[in-house]
Amino acid sequence: MSFAKYIRIANNTLQEYFVYRVNFFFWRLQVFVSFVIFYSLWHTVGQSRGQVGLYSLPQLYSYFVIGYIVRALVFTTRTADIGGEIQNGNLSTLILKPIGTIQYYFSRDLVDKLFNLSFMLVEFASIIFIFKPELVFPSPKNLFLFIIFILLSIVTFFFYSLSVSFVAFWTDSAWSSRFLLGVVFVTLFSGQYVPIDFLPESLKNILSYTIYPYMYYYPVKVWLGHLSLEESMYRLFIGFVMLLITFFITKFLWSSGKRKYQSYGN
Amino acid sequence: MGENFVLQSIMSIISVKNLTRTFQVFEKQPGLLASLKSIYYRPSKTITAVDKVNFQIEQGELVGFIGPNGAGKTTTLKCLSGLLYPSSGDIQVAGYTPSQRQYQYLRQIGFVMGQKNQLWWDLPPQETFLLNKEIYDISDRDYNERLKYFIDVLDIQSIISIQTKKLSLGQRMKCEFAAALLHRPSVVFLDEPTIGLDVVASQKIRQFIKKINQEYKTTIILTSHNMTDVQELCQRVILIDKGQIKFDGNLSDLTSRYTELKTLKFTFENKVKKSDISKFGEVIFSDGYSYTIKVAKSKYLKTAATILSKLPVTDLNIEDTPIEDVIRQVYTDR
């Protein structure tokens, strides 16, 4: 497989971001503002109680501040574009080229993450400067597990998001399914706004059998040192199984979706 | 797949046997009530866009698919390129089954769609060219040589570094052609390549298509509603209507098969009475000095000779019925 074409795709994608730099700036601004609001909310809760559930104040702050990095790395994606491209027929120009469609979008996703990450680092510095939160840092062992978990989450979310977009092969409009599965479920059930520990036990149990907490909640819990080595390895293993399942679902949806594709619009 | 089809596939660059493509469409009555009803009941019907179509195309041919809107020509083109899976039937293009979209096959084809961009919208065309260079593994030497050729022939030197979205439609189409042909495909599909272009830009594109076809023996299949495209480019036309082939052959054969008339245009030295002309055929234009008449094909030579001998003719033109009229005739006969 020649990587030169995927490097060129990444190159072109990066150039596109520079064309829409103002748009990107405002996108990052809304991410930053929404973080500040949620952080302030949890800060108020933490200040009034001293400890929230299992979380000491530094752990609570770290849950969201470290989570800010996780969000920029894992949940940024260009795969949301595919639904529209399937429905307006613009996918046609891509699938008639000797290039892997999935690899094409992965190249674009990596650039998207890189660009978000570069902005995020400035924002992260601002958060530290403004709030001066007391943070917890992981042991080298937990840091290593955290990095592995994040790499796993990046790939898992990519395939998950891709498969959600592929729903457009079968529906007239992919917007609603994308919003529900790709935005609402992901933000609520991955623990981005409320740690899963704070949810009712029954819901927590159900969620542990879904993909969502493996992309945010468990990696951050590893960082915080809330999981034993055995528990961390077990969650990593389940996360890996989730990745395999998502991968095969994506492959299945792509191969059957290609047959359904109608190349509308011309 | 029969033995004959295999043999034809070997001999022709494109072989199509019993190609059928159907679509399921949902029907909805107008109004809000019907919209509510459609939540739990959506009647559907199957439309046959292409119906048991058969043809072969040889290497280096330039073939025009013509037909009214919804006739099935674009669907056929999409099946040939591999964009759509056929519902049934066999297609072989350059020895491959297009719907499998093998890389070796995709390297051999190019597709230009008049209403779709392959150029990256926010970047200059040269960025798409460079991307295609990598996608198709074109060497630096070939890339530079071919790009220079396209720049010269299409006159695009001054526009390849301007953002695609800021180009005019004509400029964009020229760059679309360059992007689609950089890898020098052996088969090129053109879907309405001159749609929306002005006369000058259309002419330039037509000249380019002809040049590519002649110089590189590229097999070109085009659909167009613009009859000038078809007349100037295609030796062979496939006329498709309601998903079926109504005619497959030379353009001149199409004209002679479907029209029984020739058009004679006379200009006279002096004013001539209409009654002197109308006895020879149907007068469709007259201003006293010039007449246009339609005459049966079987006797147009005799008619022309008679008028030349009896009246003071200064100019005479004998024309076939315009292709637009021929095609209109075919569709009204259906």
Give the mutation candidate from B46, B117, B131, B195 for the A interface (greatest A CB count, under 10 A).
B131
Which pLDDT does position B9 carry in this prediction? 53
Local structure of B209: helix, strand or coil:
helix
Residue in B78, B84, B122 nearest the CB of A16 = B122
Average model confidence (pLDDT) for chain B? 88
Which residues in chain A touch residue B114, judged by CB atoms under 8 angstroms apart?
Answer: 266
Which pLDDT does position B329 carry in this prediction? 72
Instruction: For A213-239, write each residue's pLDDT tens digit.
Output: 999 999 999 999 999 999 999 999 999
Residue B286 and residue B243 share a domain: no
pTM, two decimal places? 0.84
Domain assignment of residue B278, yes or no = yes
Domain assignment of residue B107, yes or no = yes
Cα distance between residue A129 and residue B43, in whole Å: 62
Residue in A4, A98, A266 nearest the CB of B113 = A266
Residue B245 and residue B196 share a domain: yes
Nearest chain B CA: its distance from A100 CA (Å): 9
Structural domain for B266, as ranges? 260-322
The helices-and-strands tally (H runs, E runs) of chain A is 12, 2
Cα distance between residue B111 and residue B187, in whole Å: 9
| pLDDT level of residue A1 (50, 70, 90 thresholds) | low
Residue B236 and residue B202 share a domain: yes
Domain assignment of residue B183, yes or no = yes
Instruction: Report residue A141 as tokens.
Output: 């062992």
Residue in A12, A98, A258 nearest the CB of B131 = A12
Which residues in chain B touch residue A265, judged by CB atoms under 8 angstroms apart?
Answer: 115-116
Domain assignment of residue B89, yes or no = yes
Q: Is B116 in contact with A259 (Cβ distance < 8 A)?
A: no
Domain CATH number, residue B248? 3.40.50.300
- Give the rounded percent of residues in chain A with a pLDDT score beyond 90: 64
Instruction: Report residue B174 as tokens.
Output: 């020229």
Average model confidence (pLDDT) for chain A? 91
Mean pLDDT of B212-216: 92
**pLDDT at residue A198 is higher than 80:** yes
Which residues in chain A touch residue B111, judged by CB atoms under 8 angstroms apart?
Answer: 92-93, 96
Domain count, chain B: 2
Which pLDDT does position A151 carry in this prediction? 96
Judge residue B215's burial from the number of C-beta atoms within 10 Å of its C-beta, 0-12 exposed, 13-18 middle, 19 or more buried.
exposed
**pLDDT at residue A143 is higher than 70:** yes
Give the side-chain half-sphere CA count within 13 A for B278: 8
A26–B contact, CB cutoff 8 A: no
**pLDDT at residue A178 is higher than 70:** yes
Cα distance between residue B257 and residue B121, in whole Å: 46
Pairs across A and B, CB distance < 8 A: 76
Domain CATH number, residue B303? 3.30.70
Distances (CA, A) of B305 to B291, B301, B319: 15, 6, 15
Q: Is A265 in contact with B136 (Cβ distance < 8 A)?
A: no
**pLDDT at residue B222 is higher than 80:** yes
Residue B129 and residue B38 share a domain: yes
Mean pLDDT of B8-24: 84
Which residues in chain B touch residue A97, judged by CB atoms under 8 angstroms apart?
Answer: 106, 132, 135
The residue among A201, A196, A204, A202 whose CA lies nearest residue A221 is A196
Residue B283 and residue B193 share a domain: no
Domain assignment of residue B121, yes or no = yes
Which pLDDT does position B231 carry in this prediction? 86
Q: Is A266 in contact with B137 (Cβ distance < 8 A)?
A: no
Q: What are phi and psi for residue B63, nearest 5 degrees?
A: -115, 135
Residue A262 CB neighbour total at 10 angstroms: 15
Residue B45 and residue B172 share a domain: yes
Instruction: For B124-157, write each residue's pLDDT tens digit.
Output: 999 999 999 999 999 999 999 999 999 998 989 9
Instruction: For B168-192, write each residue's pLDDT tens digit.
Output: 998 999 999 999 999 999 999 999 8
Which residues in chain A touch residue B47, judged by CB atoms under 8 angstroms apart?
Answer: none
Beta-ladder partners of B320: B262
Residue B305 and residue B204 share a domain: no
Nearest chain A CA: its distance from B116 CA (Å): 7
Residue in A12, A97, A258 nearest the CB of B123 = A12
Domain assignment of residue B327, yes or no = no
Distances (CA, A) of B184 to A135, B111, B129, B132: 59, 12, 13, 11
Instruction: For A12-54, write each residue's pLDDT tens digit.
Output: 999 998 888 888 888 889 889 988 988 888 888 888 888 888 8
Nearest chain B CA: its distance from A256 CA (Å): 11
Residue B293 and residue B178 share a domain: no
B20 and B51 Cβ atoms separated by less than 8 Å: yes
Which residues in chain A touch residue B113, judged by CB atoms under 8 angstroms apart?
Answer: 92-93, 266
| pLDDT level of residue B290 (50, 70, 90 thresholds) | very high
Domain assignment of residue B329, yes or no = no
Instruction: Report residue A198 as tokens.
Output: 């704070």
Mean pLDDT of B253-279: 86
Instruction: For B69-121, write each residue's pLDDT tens digit.
Output: 888 888 999 999 999 999 999 999 999 999 999 999 999 999 998 888 899 99
**pLDDT at residue B37 is higher than 90:** no
Residue in A15, A20, A90 nearest the CB of B116 = A90
Which residues in chain A touch residue B135, judged by CB atoms under 8 angstroms apart?
Answer: 5, 8, 97-99
**pLDDT at residue A240 is higher than 90:** yes
Domain assignment of residue B239, yes or no = yes
B239 and B67 Cβ atoms separated by less than 8 Å: yes
Cα distance between residue A79 and residue B111, in whole Å: 25
Cα distance between residue B141 and residue B295, in whole Å: 59
Residue B233 and residue B96 share a domain: yes
B152 and B188 Cβ atoms separated by less than 8 Å: no
Residue B232 and residue B116 share a domain: yes
Residue B294 and residue B250 share a domain: no
Which residues in chain A touch residue B131, judged by CB atoms under 8 angstroms apart?
Answer: 5, 8-9, 12
Domain final position from B236, B255, B274: B255
Residue in A4, A93, A95 nearest the CB of B116 = A93
Q: Is A266 in contact with B107 (Cβ distance < 8 A)?
A: no
Which pLDDT does position B195 carry in this prediction? 86
Which pLDDT does position B30 carry in this prediction? 79
Residue B274 and residue B239 share a domain: no
Domain final position from B218, B236, B255: B255
A129 and A41 Cβ atoms separated by less than 8 Å: no
| pLDDT level of residue B294 (50, 70, 90 thresholds) | confident
Domain final position from B255, B280, B314: B255
